[in-house]
């Protein structure tokens, strides 16, 4: 059974990931419509390079909660952040090695996918509802 203290954080993380996914899809569709398939594919890959590590971090970060598990909470956050950084580097390497990437749509979508959920969180004043 999941710890009830973790639920608000998980809900917030899921909302953030869904927003990032929406931004990725919108950027990819816009790039596809205006600049063609290679640009749309680059935007989609750029978005997924941002989303996949975030999903791993959210999974690791919200495994534990409560005062009795404080050491586990800190360890889970650090492990999640380490995994996120390593996975991001690996996904960048895979993207540039195995795909024909157009840099502007790739990095623009990567950046927007990372920033949009943060801006929305600031706008919503970090509510978990």
- How confident is the chain (129 residues) per 10-residue block, as mean pLDDT? 64 85 94 94 95 89 65 81 92 94 95 86 59
- Cα angle, residue 21 at apex, residues 52 and 118 outer, rounded to 5°: 85
CB neighbours of residue 123 within 10 Å:
8
Residue-level pLDDT at 77: 81
Q: Are 79 and 70 in contact (CB under 8 A)?
A: no
Provide CB contacts within 8 A for 89, sequence distance 6+. none
pTM of structure? 0.82
Residue-level pLDDT at 5: 63
Q: Are 66 and 4 in contact (CB under 8 A)?
A: no
């Amino acid at each position: 059974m999941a710890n009830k203290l973790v639920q608000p954080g998980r809900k917030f993380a899921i909302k953030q990931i869904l927003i990032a996914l929406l931004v990725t899809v919108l950027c990819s569709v816009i790039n596809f419509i205006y600049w063609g398939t290679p640009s749309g594919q680059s935007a989609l890959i750029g978005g997924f390079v941002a989303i996949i590590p975030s999903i791993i971090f959210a999974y690791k970060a919200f495994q534990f909660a409560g005062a009795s598990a404080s050491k586990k909470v800190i360890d889970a956050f650090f492990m999640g952040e380490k995994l996120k950084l390593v996975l991001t580097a690996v996904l960048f390497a895979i993207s540039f090695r195995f795909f024909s990437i157009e840099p502007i749509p790739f990095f623009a979508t990567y950046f927007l996918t990372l920033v949009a959920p943060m801006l929305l969180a600031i706008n919503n004043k970090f509510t978990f509802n």
